[in-house]
Every structure is written in structure tokens, then in C-alpha cells.
Amino acid sequence: MGTGVSDLLRSVSREEECVGFADLCAGILSATNAQIPTVNLALDRHLRDVIIKVVMKDVELVVLKRLSSEPLRSDPRNHTIPVLDFVPWDGFHFSVQARWYDYVCQPSPDSARSRLEIARQLLGDIRPENIVWNHVTTGDPRHSKFDFCMAYIDFDAAVIFPADNLRVASTGARPPDPFNAPEQVLALAHLELDPYDVCAADVCMLGNVLRVELNEAQKWYVTHDTEVDQPYRKLLREMTCVKPEERPTASVTLQAVIKMLSDLPTGHQIEPRSDAYFNFFKAQLIHKLFLSSKVILSPAVLKFLHYLSFIFMI
């Protein structure tokens, strides 16, 4: 059970005392590479589910602490998963958060309405962070069966802007392929990072994420809503244009998505995906968790192992 880390967190954590750990498959906290942390389930002293996650970089720690402090914590626009406590240990910082879900890429959208609602929420408050569903339920959730809200969980590629600059950044922080924007790759390739328009890069990154999700979903037998497929794909192509100045702004893109949503028939729903589709996701999850159970212990601390797949990746 990784009792050394369990005892550490039990003695250090103030607001939420963590009394037990359960790695998603092996029942341990483990790591082979501190650069790719895993996410582990735990129980607080009230036997509520929480998440233990390593905070990777100084900027991520600063951003998380700022978003977890007042007045930002009470701001209704702040969709960050609440951090209950930060636990420092051996140069690392572990965040204790309310449980958001077992796996960051599920549940996937199962209708045109839920897919467009995802795009609407993300474009409404666009940021270069990872996203997950914050609705927890048993079985295979279907977005068409409940209201859902997007939430931010990972700030490894976050940028803190000075007060006099709200658009341009010069940083090597970016998401992995195939989600990053072309100008981010070019900036990182130079010894002196070239500044770029972060808002335009955000639009491109989100377009890449949504395009990957749609392409993966349509590999499987599923009744998709065809009336919005072509306009939606056209919008994604515009969002991912190579030239930043030719991309639509986030606000323009948002209005296009809102119009697609409004054009859907009232009460428009889609039949749930076949069991074969969800069984595939389950098999992929088990496979990834099996790989993450290979343990190499550090003499200083049991570090985190393998970061669960980037949003919407299989």
C-alpha cells in the first residue's frame, strides 16, 4: 500500500487527512519517472474519494495555489477542481483534490449535442489546460443522459501573464503532439523562444483536441448526427489553420458553435453507442493501467509513475 507515503500524508496533510491509497490497478503509489506522474485514488478521513497527483513544475504550483485561494476560488468562472491540500516532500509537491473521475478521457461525447456542448464550454473560457468531466457516476455514463460541466485539472503548460500583456507569450510550455499549434513548435525549436499569440494558439490546440476526439469516435459503429458533421468539421479545419492570423477568434468560433446547437431539433438525442464501443474503452483502460503497474521504488519517496493519457486520447 505504500505505507511510507501514506504515513507521510497522514502526518502532514491538514485539511484532508489521507488514510489510504488505491492505485487504479496495483493498490500502490509508484513511479519510474518523475516527469510523467500518475493519478492515484485515496480516501480522506471521512472516507470520501480524493485524488493524489504530483505537481510537476514551479509555474503549475503557483497557478494552482492562486486559483485555489480567494477571491479566485469563489469566482464562478473558476472551473478548477478544488485543491484540498498541498503536501511538499523531497522537492516534490503533491496536490490532494476532490475526485474528478477514474480516467481523464472518459466519458466521451455520445451525440452531436454533447459534442457541441463540449466545444461551447471550452470556447467560452478558453485556456491551454487539460480538461475532464466532473460528473461521477457508475457504469458507462452517457452525456445525453445528464447535464455536465467541463473542469480544469492540469496546469503543466500554464502561462502567467504580466499585467500589461494579455495575449503574447514566449514560452516552451505546450501540450504534446498532435495537439500543439504550429507556432508553438517553431518557438520551441529556436534557442530564443519567439513570442506568439496565445489566444490564437489556444483556438488551434482546442481544434486539434476536438478533431482527434471526433476521428476516434467515428472509427466505431455508432449512429452519429450527420446534419452537423460537415459544418463542425469545417469549423475545426478553420480553427487549426497553420497561419494564426487566418484562424477565427475564440469568440467567433463560440458563436458558430452556439448556432449549431440552436439549429438542432428540440429534444434532439442520439442512441447510446454500442456495447462494443464502450468495451473497447474498458480494454484500453485496463491495458494502460497494467503497464503502469511496473514498479521501481525510489529510495527517497515512492514517486508517481505514468500520467494517464492526454484528454480524448486512446
* Domain locations in the chain as residue ranges: 3-102+281-291, 112-263
**By CB neighbour count within 10 A (0-12 exposed, 13-18 middle, 19+ buried), where does 273 fall?**
buried
CA 102 – CA 183 distance, rounded (Å): 33
The CATH architecture to which 3-102+281-291 belongs is 2-Layer Sandwich (3.30)
CA 232 – CA 228 distance, rounded (Å): 6
3-state SS, residue 87: strand
Q: What does the pLDDT average to over 27-34?
A: 33
**Which helix or strand (DSSP H or E) is residue 67 part of?**
helix 58-67
- pTM (two decimals): 0.56
Q: Which of 202, 212, 213, 253 is nearest to 231 (CA)?
A: 253
* pLDDT for 303 beyond 90: no
**Which helix or strand (DSSP H or E) is residue 169 part of?**
strand 168-169
The mean-pLDDT minimum among 118-122, 141-145, 301-305 falls in 301-305
CA 30 – CA 4 distance, rounded (Å): 12
Do residues 171 and 193 touch, judged by C-beta distance below 8 A? Answer: yes
The mean-pLDDT minimum among 99-113, 156-170, 211-225, 281-295 falls in 281-295
* pLDDT for 167 beyond 50: yes
Half-sphere exposure of 310 (CA within 13 A, CB side): 20
Question: The cell 489553420 sits on which residue?
Answer: 241
Cβ-based neighbour number of residue 220 at 10 Å: 13
Do residues 69 and 104 touch, judged by C-beta distance below 8 A? Answer: no
- pLDDT tens sequence across 206-253: 888 888 877 776 665 554 555 567 888 899 999 999 999 999 988 888
Which amino acid does the sequence have at 209?
Answer: V
Q: How high is the pLDDT of residue 257?
A: 87
Whether residue 71 has a cis bond before it, omega within 30° of 0: yes
The mean-pLDDT minimum among 4-13, 54-63, 157-166, 237-246 falls in 4-13
Between 238 and 16, residue with greater pLDDT: 238
* pLDDT for 19 beyond 50: no
Alpha helices, H only, 128-272: 182-189, 198-217, 229-239, 250-263
| CATH code for the part of the protein at 112-263 | 1.10.510.10
Between 305 and 289, residue with greater pLDDT: 289
CA 9 – CA 1 distance, rounded (Å): 13
Between 37 and 295, residue with greater pLDDT: 37
CA 201 – CA 56 distance, rounded (Å): 22
Q: What does the pLDDT average to over 112-120?
A: 73
Grid coordinates of 201? 494558439
Q: How high is the pLDDT of residue 237?
A: 93
CA 67 – CA 248 distance, rounded (Å): 28
Q: Distance between terminal CA atoms of the chain? A: 28
Q: How high is the pLDDT of residue 238?
A: 95
Q: What does the pLDDT average to over 113-137?
A: 53
Mean pLDDT for all residues in the chain = 62
Q: Which of 9-18, 142-151, 205-214, 265-274 has the highest mean pLDDT?
A: 205-214
Q: What does the pLDDT average to over 47-52?
A: 79
Half-sphere exposure of 246 (CA within 13 A, CB side): 7
CA 313 – CA 176 distance, rounded (Å): 11
3-state SS, residue 86: strand
Q: What does the pLDDT average to over 89-116?
A: 68
Overall size of the chain counted in residues: 314
Q: What does the pLDDT average to over 150-161?
A: 69
Task: Annotate 88-139 with DSSP letters as a single string.
Answer: EETTEEEEEEE---SSTT-SPP-SHHHHHHHHHHHHHT--SS-EEE----SS
Q: How high is the pLDDT of residue 188?
A: 60
